[in-house]
C-alpha cells in the first residue's frame, strides 16, 4: 500500500489538468467529461506560477480556488503541483542570475520552461515563498490527495554551468573533500598541469580545448543532481511543516541520465514516473517494462504511479506516431502489470496554442466524440473495476544492477569506445529476460542483494571497493552473477583500479583482462556459439571455465564467455556483447542454474505475463498480447484467447 491510496481509495486515473489555458465557462464541460471518462485524480497547477503570482508577491488564487472546488465537488482528487517548474517572466527580469547556462556559456532564456539555475538563491527564495502560500492555502482542501513537487527535474536542464553554480560547486567540493589536497588527489590533477592551490580556482567542466578532467565531469554530475535535489527538499520541508500527513512525490523522467533517481528515491513518499514509449519503435514496450521495473524497485517494491503518458501521439519526436487502436490500453495495463497504482496522462484537454498544441490529450481539439476519448473512457471504467489489485506487489528472483554514477562515468569521453551507453548496456541484458518472461527488479548497488537468485551486472565500469566486495560476497554466499566486459575498471573518482583488469572482480571471475580490443563501428566478431558486437578483449583465465571462445581474428580460440564457480555461487563473464540470440542463450543457462522461473512458463512470444501479489494471498495474473494478431495462452486455469493487443487480468487464490 502506498500513501496515496488511503486518500484516494481508487486507482489514480486522469491527467495533467491546465484550466488556465481555457475560459472558465469550459470548466464545467471538463468536469462533465472527466466523470464520463472515470477520472479519479488530476495533476493541477504544474505551470501555473505566472498565473497565480502575476507580479512578485501579488497573488491571484481566486481562479485556482474555483478549479479546486469544482474538482472536489466532483469527487476528483488533486495531485497538487507546487508550480515551480517554470518561473514567471518577471523573475528573469528582476533576477537575470536565475537563468541557467550551458557549458559553452549560452544563457537559456525564458520563453520555454525550466529556465532556472537550481543553485540560484533568488530562484529558491521566490519558489519557497510561493510554495508556502500554496500549501497554507490548500492544506485542508478536500480535493488534495498528493503533493507534486516541481516537474521532471533535470529534464531540459540537468546541469547549469553559470557563475552561481560554479560557486555552489566549490562549496560542494569543499564539503566532499575537505581540502584542496584531497581534491587534487581525487581528480588526479598531477595530469596535464591541473593542480589546484585553492578551491576558488575550480570551475564547472565548461567547454574546454579538449576532454575535461573525467573526475571533474563526474563530480559535476553528482553536484548537479544534488543541487536539483536541494530544490526539491527545500519545497518538501515547507510541505512537511504544514501538511505532514499528505504524501509527496516528483515525477521522474527517463531512466538514463539526468538525476540520480536512486539518490532521490528515498525522499519520495511514492515513486512516480512519466513514460513515453515510441509507437514507431517495435521494442519500446520492452524499454518501458525496464523502466517500470526500475520505478517499482526504487520504491522498495511498493506500488508506484504512472503520472504521465500520451493518450496517443507526442509532439517532440521528429516523427510522432499515433498509438494504434488498443495500444494505449495495452501499454497502460503494462504499467499496472508491473506495479503501478495510477495511470495518468499528459494532458486533459489538448492545448489550442503553445508548444504542445499537437501533443495528444484525453480531450482532443475535435472534442470527445472520437476514438481516443472512447478508449480512455473504457480504460477508466476498467481500472475502476480492478480495485483488488491496488497495493499489491511483485516478486522477482532476478535483479539487474543499475547505478547512475556508473552510467555517467561509462558515457564519459576518452574511453576505448565512445558510444557504449548505459541504455544499450541495460537493455541488451534486460530484453532476453523480458522475452523469456522472467520478472526482474532493477536495483542500485545499495539494495539487499541476498533476496535474488540471479544478479545481472551490465558494464559496471565504475565501482567503489565496498560495492565490489558486496558483489563478491553475494556470489560467495551462493548467488549467481552475470557480468559484462568493462566492469570493475575505475573507482568513484574515475581512477583505474590497479592490479590487472578488472582488479576488484579478478578473483571472483577467475580471470584477468590483458588488453581491450574494441571492434570497429558496427563491426561484429565471430564466437564459437554466435557473434559479438562493440567489444572484444584479451582474457587470461585464472580458474574460470571457458564457455565460448572468439572464433576469428587475433583473438581466435581465446576466451570470450566464461563461468567461474566461486564460494557457493557462480560468476559468468561476457567479454563482448553477444548477439541477441547468444545473449538469450547465456541468460537462459544462468536462469536455469539459478532456479529462476518465468512468471508463466511457455507463454507465446510477444505475450508479457506478470503476477502481482496481494497481501490477502490473491495472485493477479496479467497477460498482455503485444502482437498485432490474436492467439491463445495456456495458463494453469485454462486457455485464454487474446485478441491483437488485448489484455487479460485474472485473480487466483494461492
DSSP, collapsed to helix, strand or coil, labels residue 536 as coil
178 φψ region: left (φ > 0), alpha (ψ -120 to 50), beta (else): left
Nearest to 479 by CA among 572, 545, 403: 572
Nearest to 524 by CA among 563, 482, 483, 582: 582
Interface with ligand GLA (CB under 6 A), residue from 53, 308, 494, 608: 308
Residue nearest to ligand GLA (CB): 274
Give the x-and-dash track for 233-262 against ligand GLA (CB under 6 A).
------------------------------
Of 115 and 359, the one with the shorter C-beta distance to ligand GLA is: 359
Q: State how far the Cα of 307 lies from the Cα of 174, in Å rounded to an integer.
A: 37
Phi, psi of 316 (to 5 degrees): -115, 5
Judge residue 224's burial from the number of C-beta atoms within 10 Å of its C-beta, 0-12 exposed, 13-18 middle, 19 or more buried: buried
Find the shortest distance in angstroms from Cβ 346 to ligand GLA: 4
Interface with ligand GLA (CB under 6 A), residue from 203, 276, 516, 538: 276
Find the shortest distance in angstroms from Cβ 178 to ligand GLA: 38
Give bridge partners of residue 320 from the DSSP assignment.
Answer: none
Within 352-391, the residues that bind ligand GLA by CB under 6 A are 356, 359
Of 155 and 422, the one with the shorter C-beta distance to ligand GLA is: 155
Q: Going by C-beta distance under 8 Å and a sequence separation of 6 or more, which residues neighbour residue 427?
A: 283, 286, 287, 290
Q: Going by C-beta distance under 8 Å and a sequence separation of 6 or more, which residues neighbour residue 29?
A: none
Find the shortest distance in angstroms from Cβ 307 to ligand GLA: 8
**Whose grid coordinates read 535535489?**
229
Q: How far does CA 356 lie from the centroid of its chain?
A: 23
Q: Residues binding ligand GLA: what is the number (CB under 6 A)?
A: 9
Find the shortest distance in angstroms from Cβ 589 to ligand GLA: 39
Of 264 and 485, the one with the shorter C-beta distance to ligand GLA is: 264
DSSP, collapsed to helix, strand or coil, labels residue 597 as coil
Within 321-350, the residues that bind ligand GLA by CB under 6 A are 346
Find the shortest distance in angstroms from Cβ 350 to ligand GLA: 12
Find the shortest distance in angstroms from Cβ 607 to ligand GLA: 28
CB-hemisphere CA count at 13 Å for 608? 28
Of 271 and 433, the one with the shorter C-beta distance to ligand GLA is: 271
Of 351 and 524, the one with the shorter C-beta distance to ligand GLA is: 351
Q: Going by C-beta distance under 8 Å and a sequence separation of 6 or more, which residues neighbour residue 612?
A: 337, 339, 389, 392, 393, 394, 619, 620, 622
Of 252 and 535, the one with the shorter C-beta distance to ligand GLA is: 252
Of 360 and 480, the one with the shorter C-beta distance to ligand GLA is: 360
Nearest to 432 by CA among 579, 260, 600: 579
422 belongs to the binding site for ligand GLA (CB under 6 A) = no
Interface with ligand GLA (CB under 6 A), residue from 37, 314, 399, 457: 314
Q: State how far the Cα of 65 lies from the Cα of 88, in Å rounded to an integer.
A: 20
Find the shortest distance in angstroms from Cβ 99 to ligand GLA: 20
Find the shortest distance in angstroms from Cβ 112 to ligand GLA: 10
Find the shortest distance in angstroms from Cβ 28 to ligand GLA: 25
Of 359 and 558, the one with the shorter C-beta distance to ligand GLA is: 359
Of 253 and 586, the one with the shorter C-beta distance to ligand GLA is: 253
Of 152 and 537, the one with the shorter C-beta distance to ligand GLA is: 152
Q: State how far the Cα of 572 lies from the Cα of 480, in Å rounded to an integer.
A: 8
- Which residues are known to be catalytic? 152, 308
Give bridge partners of residue 572 from the DSSP assignment.
Answer: 482, 563
Find the shortest distance in angstroms from Cβ 272 to ligand GLA: 11
Sign of the alpha-carbon torsion through 64, 68, 71, 77:
positive
Q: What angle do helix axes 422-435 and 284-298 make, rounded to 10 degrees?
A: 100
Are 587 and 456 a contacting pair, CB within 8 Å? yes
What is the C-alpha R_g of the chain?
26
Within 132-151, the residues that bind ligand GLA by CB under 6 A are 151
Please give the full DSSP string across 229-275, using - where no structure is assigned: HHHHHHHHHHHHHH-TTS-EE-EEE-SSSSS-HHHHHTT-SS-EEE-
Nearest to 85 by CA among 54, 123, 119: 123
Interface with ligand GLA (CB under 6 A), residue from 101, 226, 260, 274: 274
Within 152-191, the residues that bind ligand GLA by CB under 6 A are 152
Which chain residues interact with ligand GLA by CB under 6 A?
A: 151-152, 274, 276, 308, 314, 346, 356, 359
Amino acid at each position: 500500500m502506498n500513501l496515496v491510496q488511503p486518500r484516494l481509495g481508487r486507482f489514480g486515473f486522469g491527467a495533467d489538468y491546465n484550466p488556465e489555458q481555457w475560459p472558465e465557462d469550459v470548466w464545467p464541460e471538463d468536469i462533465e467529461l472527466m466523470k464520463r471518462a472515470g477520472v479519479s485524480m488530476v495533476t493541477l497547477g504544474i505551470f501555473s506560477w505566472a498565473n497565480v503570482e502575476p507580479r512578485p508577491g501579488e497573488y491571484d488564487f481566486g481562479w485556482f480556488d474555483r478549479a479546486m472546488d469544482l474538482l472536489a465537488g466532483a469527487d476528483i482528487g488533486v495531485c497538487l503541483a507546487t508550480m515551480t517548474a517554470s518561473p514567471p517572466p518577471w523573475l528573469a527580469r528582476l533576477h537575470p542570475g536565475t537563468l541557467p547556462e550551458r557549458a559553452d556559456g549560452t544563457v537559456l532564456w525564458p520563453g520555454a520552461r525550466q529556465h532556472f539555475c537550481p543553485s540560484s538563491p533568488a530562484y529558491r527564495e521566490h519558489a519557497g515563498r510561493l510554495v508556502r502560500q500554496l500549501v497554507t492555502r490548500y492544506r485542508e482542501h478536500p480535493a488534495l490527495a498528493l503533493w507534486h513537487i516541481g516537474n521532471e527535474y533535470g529534464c531540459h536542464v540537468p546541469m547549469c554551468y553559470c557563475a552561481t553554480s560554479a560557486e555552489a560547486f566549490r562549496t560542494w567540493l569543499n564539503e566532499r573533500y575537505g581540502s584542496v589536497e584531497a581534491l587534487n588527489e581525487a581528480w588526479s590533477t598531477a595530469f596535464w598541469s591541473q593542480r589546484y592551490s585553492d578551491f576558488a580556482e575550480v570551475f564547472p567542466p565548461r567547454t574546454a580545448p579538449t576532454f575535461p578532467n573525467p573526475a571533474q565531469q563526474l563530480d559535476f554530475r553528482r553536484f548537479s543532481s544534488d543541487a536539483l535535489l536541494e530544490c526539491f527538499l527545500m519545497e518538501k520541508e515547507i510541505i512537511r511543516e504544514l501538511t505532514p500527513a499528505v504524501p509527496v512525490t516528483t515525477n521522474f523522467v527517463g531512466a538514463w541520465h539526468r538525476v540520480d533517481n536512486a539518490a532521490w528515491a528515498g525522499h519520495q513518499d511514492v515513486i512516480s514516473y512519466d513514460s513515453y514509449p515510441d509507437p514507431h519503435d517495435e521494442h519500446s514496450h520492452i524499454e518501458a517494462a525496464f523502466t517500470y521495473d526500475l520505478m517499482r524497485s526504487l520504491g522498495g517494491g511498493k506500488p508506484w504511479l504512472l503520472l504521465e503518458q500520451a493518450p496517443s501521439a507526442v509532439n517532440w519526436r521528429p516523427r510522432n506516431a499515433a498509438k494504434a487502436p488498443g495500444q494505449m490500453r495495452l501499454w497502460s495495463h503494462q504499467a499496472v502489470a508491473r506495479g503501478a497504482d495510477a495511470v495518468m496522462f499528459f494532458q486533459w484537454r489538448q492545448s489550442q496554442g503553445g508548444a504542445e498544441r499537437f501533443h495528444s490529450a484525453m480531450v482532443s481539439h475535435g472534442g470527445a466524440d472520437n476514438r481516443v476519448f472512447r478508449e480512455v473512457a473504457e480504460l477508466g471504467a476498467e481500472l475502476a473495476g480492478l480495485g483488488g489489485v491496488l497495493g499489491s506487489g511483485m516478486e522477482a528472483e532476478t535483479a539487474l544492477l543499475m547505478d547512475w554514477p556508473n552510467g555517467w562515468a561509462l558515457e564519459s569521453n576518452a574511453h576505448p569506445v565512445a558510444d557504449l551507453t548505459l541504455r544499450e548496456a541495460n537493455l541488451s541484458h534486460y530484453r532476453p529476460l523480458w522475452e523469456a518472461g522472467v520478472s526482474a527488479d532493477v536495483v542500485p548497488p545499495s539494495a539487499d542483494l541476498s533476496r535474488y537468485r540471479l544478479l545481472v551486472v551490465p558494464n559496471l565500469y565504475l565501482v567503489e571497493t565496498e560495492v565490489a566486495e558486496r558483489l563478491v560476497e553475494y556470489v560467495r554466499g551462493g548467488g549467481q552473477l552475470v557480468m559484462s566486459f568493462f566492469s570493475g575498471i575505475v573507482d568513484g573518482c574515475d581512477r583505474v583500479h590497479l592490479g590487472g583488469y578488472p582488479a576488484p572482480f579478478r578473483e571472483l571471475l577467475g580471470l584477468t583482462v590483458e588488453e581491450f580490443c574494441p571492434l570497429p563501428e558496427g563491426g561484429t566478431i565471430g564466437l564459437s556459439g554466435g557473434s559479438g558486437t562493440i567489444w572484444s578483449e584479451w582474457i587470461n583465465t585464472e580458474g574460470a571455465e571457458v564457455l565460448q571462445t572468439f572464433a576469428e581474428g587475433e583473438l581466435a580460440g581465446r576466451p570470450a564467455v566464461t563461468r567461474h564457480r566461486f564460494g557457493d555461487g557462480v560468476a559468468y563473464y561476457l567479454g563482448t556483447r553477444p548477439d541477441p540470440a547468444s545473449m538469450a542463450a547465456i541468460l537462459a543457462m544462468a536462469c536455469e542454474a539459478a532456479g529462476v522461473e518465468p512468471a508463466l512458463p511457455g507463454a507465446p512470444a510477444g505475450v508479457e505475463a506478470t503476477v502481482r501479489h496481494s497481501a490477502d494471498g490473491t495472485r493477479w495474473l496479467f497477460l498482455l498480447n503485444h502482437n498485432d494478431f490474436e492467439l491463445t495462452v495456456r495458463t494453469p486455469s485454462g486457455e485464454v484467447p487474446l485478441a491483437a493487443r488485448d489484455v487479460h487480468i485474472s485473480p487466483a487464490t494461492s
